[in-house]
Amino acid sequence: MNPDDRLIIPKNTVRILQKYDFHFSKKLGQNFLIDDHVMDRIIKGAGISRDDCALEIGPGIGTMTQFLGENAGKVIAVELDKKLIPILEDTLSEFDNITVINDDILKTDITALAKEYNGGRPMKVVANLPYYITTPIIMELLEKRAPIESLTVMVQKEVALRMQAKPGSKDYGALSLAVQYYSRPYIVANVPSNCFMPRPNVDSAVIRLDIKNRPDESVKDERFMFAIIKAAFAQRRKTLVNAVSSVGELGIGKEKITEALLSIGKSASVRGETFSVAEFALLSDELYQR
């Protein structure tokens, strides 16, 4: 593709939007990237090569999709907004290695896509996700253990910081533990708001999650462990004993929680924000047995 025709150049984005009389949807969180240096860092950060099948979530008008088409062997772009499909057919017309699917990624059978387009091998997800649905999409892909090798996504900067936060830090919480249980996260690039059209009210970051073949921690019941984690962070200032015991659905009294903590060498006065994934796994198994 002629570099001068890429959508990453603001005037080309404006031209396409005017051609199709397309208006940005705040409801769908539509902000299009217009900085080629950031785009290059995303592609390099994702490690995309001709050997890869890339799955893009929310291609928009095709800005990132064009770069993926130039670097990946195969690209599957899943777009929810049907009004963008004719635009994508136009902006991606030069590429024969890109397939656009009009669907909701939360309802898409990713295993079937991997079988059809990548011989069943794991794909690499690359996306500039609408921020209002960032966490649900990422957690859906992680929890269902979709055939994915890595996720490299643009997210709100504070969300990226939470994903890679360590125990004891102000950003550490339930999201940190969930992401780190399934993957190894690291921030690829920080992205200021002036790199987008229209300009959002927050700064962004590109984070890559390398999916673990299996979690480092062995736990008897994952859902139970995450229920404990959710309870522990629902009221951060409370001790872990008080926070977990106050959640009636769990039905675990203070005495049992105290016993379980002591059995793994922890004080009854600890807070959840100091616990690593491994420590929550140990506590969860102790409580599960009791």
pLDDT tens, position by position, 148-161 = 999 999 999 999 99
Q: Domain check: are 134 and 56 in the same one?
A: yes
pLDDT value of residue 28: 54
pLDDT value of residue 24: 66
State mean pLDDT over 24-30.
Answer: 60
State mean pLDDT over 17-41.
Answer: 80
State mean pLDDT over 56-74.
Answer: 95
Of 192, 211, 230, the residue at which a domain comes to its end is 211
Burial (CB count <10 Å: 0-12, 13-18, 19+), residue 28: middle
Q: Domain containing 249 — which CATH number?
A: 1.10.8.100
Domain membership flag for residue 251: yes
SS3 letters for the chain? CCHHHCCCCHHHHHHHHHHCCCCCCCCCCCCEECCHHHHHHHHHHHCCCCCCEEEEECCCCCHHHHHHHHHCCEEEEEECCHHHHHHHHHHCCCCCCEEEEECCHHHCCHHHHHHHHHCCCCEEEEEECCHHHHHHHHHHHHHCCCCEEEEEEEEEHHHHHHHCCCCCCCCCCHHHHHHHHHEEEEEEEEECHHHEECCCCCCEEEEEEEECCCCCCCCCCHHHHHHHHHHHHHCCCCCHHHHHHCCCCCCCCHHHHHHHHHHCCCCCCCCHHHCCHHHHHHHHHHHHHC
Q: Domain check: are 122 and 207 in the same one?
A: yes
pLDDT of 141 over the 90 cut: yes
What is the domain range of residue 63? 3-211
- Taking Cα atoms as reference points, which of 69, 37, 44 lies closest to residue 56? 69
List, for residues 159-199, the tens digit of each pLDDT value. Answer: 999 999 999 999 999 999 999 999 999 999 999 888 887 78
Q: Domain check: are 279 and 144 in the same one?
A: no
Top-confidence residue, 22 or 123 = 123
Q: Domain check: are 119 and 164 in the same one?
A: yes
pLDDT value of residue 201: 82
pLDDT of 25 over the 90 cut: no
State mean pLDDT over 204-226.
Answer: 94
Report the number of distinct structural domains present in the chain.
2
Stated pTM of the model? 0.90
Identity of the amino acid at 243:
A
